[in-house]
Amino acid sequence: MEDYDVIVIGGGPAGGAAAHVAARAGLRVALIDRHAFPREKLCGGGFTGRSYRYYAEIFGEPIPEEIILTKRSVEFHAHGQPLARIDGIPPIHMTMRRDMDAAIVRRALASGAEDFTGTAVETLEPAARRIVLKDGRSLRYRVLIGADGANSQVARTLYGAAFDHDRIGFGLEIEGPAPPDDAPVRIDFGAAEWGYGWNFPKAGSATIGIGGVHAKNPEMKAAMQRYLALFGVAGAYRVKGAFLPFGDVRRRPGRAEVLLAGDAAGLVDPITGEGIAYAMKSGALAAEAAAEAIRAGDPPRALRLYRRKLREIHRAMFHARWIRQIIFGRRFRGAFVRAFRGSGTVRHEYLRLMAGEIEYPALAWATLKKVPGFMVRSVTGR
């Protein structure tokens, strides 16, 4: 049996960041993923300014330019009607998860993490701090970081189910034809209930999809076909689907020396559905907490340390869930659309939010100043 300080399950942004930070801290790290890299991954691929900043902070240099496409124009639509096209916006980056995740895994391995990609986990034994792999090997850990996505095996071992599917989101998307070079980013509020549609141009393709709260979208496949028809690609490409764990943040993301990061912890923006930024950040914070607990000779203390480090992200999630009622709720969304259409300030703050320059309180304040008083009282209770 091999002994490790930290075992990370999942080689996406959360797991790759966790393995990199833990290895850089001098710990013996195993990075496990059932897939070999590069591999395909369902994801819109929006790489926000916040993601760009976190990547540079964690890995010590900007994300390689060859795996992102930067756009400075965006079109907004709402419930079938155009809202605005805005040029000269703060940069919005697009990436293919196949390329980005492979780059992050390479960074983690270069930092000293041991490579167990292409290897699946058979069983987890938290009481023994042990993992048994499909190939029969056993690994023992002092801290385990589960960064294995919305259907997390680690979360299922701890809680019996990763998430309540009625509370989280679901998305459908295709990888469609290459757009013109000047194609803007497109966002369609209302393409799905309590969600939106997107058309994200990338190098050589475009990701087109919709996502919303799963329980509120019983006819999502039909909604997806209607959305694809807007671009003349309905029925022409394979549609892929996945759960999006926004709306169900785990306030206690783990148990003692077992930590959950990224999608496995529900750290997905409940408005935009973007999870890359918080995945990388939470993975790095989980690794920092693990290192501190191990150095103190108290691995079970890792969760307590991790929860403290997550407070800022949890605050952002709270504010986002609050303003989500304004953007998506049937009672309020008409007022939001009118405010968005009529107020340059609201549009500007939304774009700054997408760029990672501000957090949700600033957008909430800008919006509430433009909506009717009755709506403010309905939302705030005052």
What Å distances lie between residue 44 and 116, 138, 202, 274, 275, CA to CA? Answer: 27, 36, 10, 8, 10
User: Cα(41)–Cα(96) distance, rounded to whole angstroms?
Assistant: 8
Q: Quick check: pTM over 0.85?
A: yes
Amino acid at 91: P
With beta carbons less than 8 A apart as the criterion, state whether 90 and 357 touch.
yes
Helices (H), 242-301: 276-295
195 near 83, Cβ under 8 Å? no
Match 């240099």 to its residue by tokens.
61
How far is Cα 39 from Cα 105, in angstroms, rounded to an integer? 11
CA distance 124 to 185: 42
Structural domains in the chain plus CATH codes: 2-69+96-164+247-321 (3.50.50.60), 71-92+166-244 (3.30.9.10), 330-380 (no CATH)
Distances (CA, A) of 296 to 2, 129, 136, 373: 22, 18, 32, 53
How do 29-33 and 2-9 pair as beta strands? parallel
Task: Evaluate whether 260 touches 150 at the Cβ level (below 8 Å).
Answer: no
The tens-digit pLDDT sequence of the chain (382 residues) is 799 999 999 999 999 999 999 999 999 999 999 999 998 887 777 888 889 999 999 999 999 888 888 889 999 999 888 998 999 888 888 888 889 999 999 999 999 999 999 999 999 999 999 999 999 999 999 999 999 998 899 999 999 877 888 788 899 999 988 888 889 999 999 999 999 999 999 888 899 999 999 999 999 999 999 999 999 987 778 999 988 887 667 778 999 999 999 999 999 888 878 889 999 999 999 999 999 999 999 999 999 999 999 999 988 888 888 788 878 888 888 888 888 888 778 888 888 877 777 777 777 666 666 655 534 444 444 4
User: What confidence score (pLDDT) does residue 140 get?
Assistant: 98
Listed residue (57, 221, 243) closest to 168, CA to CA: 243
DSSP 3-state of 146: strand
SS3 118: coil
